[in-house]
Amino acid sequence: MLRGRLKPKGDVRCKWCGSIAIIKYGHESGKQVYKCKSCGRKFVPEDPFKKLKYDPMIIATTLDLYFKGLSLRKIADHLKQFHGLNVHYSTLYKWIKRYIDILER
C-alpha cells in the first residue's frame, strides 16, 4: 500500500484543524483514511448527507431558493406544492445552518 501521496484537490479538510495539507493514509472499513500534515492526526471525512430523511436534491433546492431570497415559510410552501413534502420551516433553517459551511468551502 502506498502512503504519503498528497491529495491534489482542496475538497477534503482536516476535521481537527481545518488544514488542506493532507495525504491519503490507507483504508479503514472500506473508507479512505487521511493524515493531516499540519497536526499529524488521522481521520475519515464524514459524509454531510449521511442519515438523511430527505433526498439531497430537496435540500439543494431549499438552499437554492434560500439564496435567491425566499423566506423559509415560502420555501416550505414550495416544497409542499411542487414536491408533495410537508417540511416545517424550522427544519429548513437547520438544513441551511448545517450546509452553509459546506457551501462556503
pLDDT digits (tens, 9 = 90+) for 56-70: 899 999 999 999 999
pLDDT band of residue 96 (cuts 50, 70, 90) is: very high
The mean per-residue pLDDT over the stretch 64-77 comes to 96
DSSP designation for 53: S
Q: The pTM is what?
A: 0.56
Task: Establish how many alpha carbons lie within 13 A of residue 54's alpha carbon, considering only the half-sphere containing its beta carbon.
Answer: 18
Q: Give the whole-angstrom CA distance, residue 103 versus residue 83.
A: 24
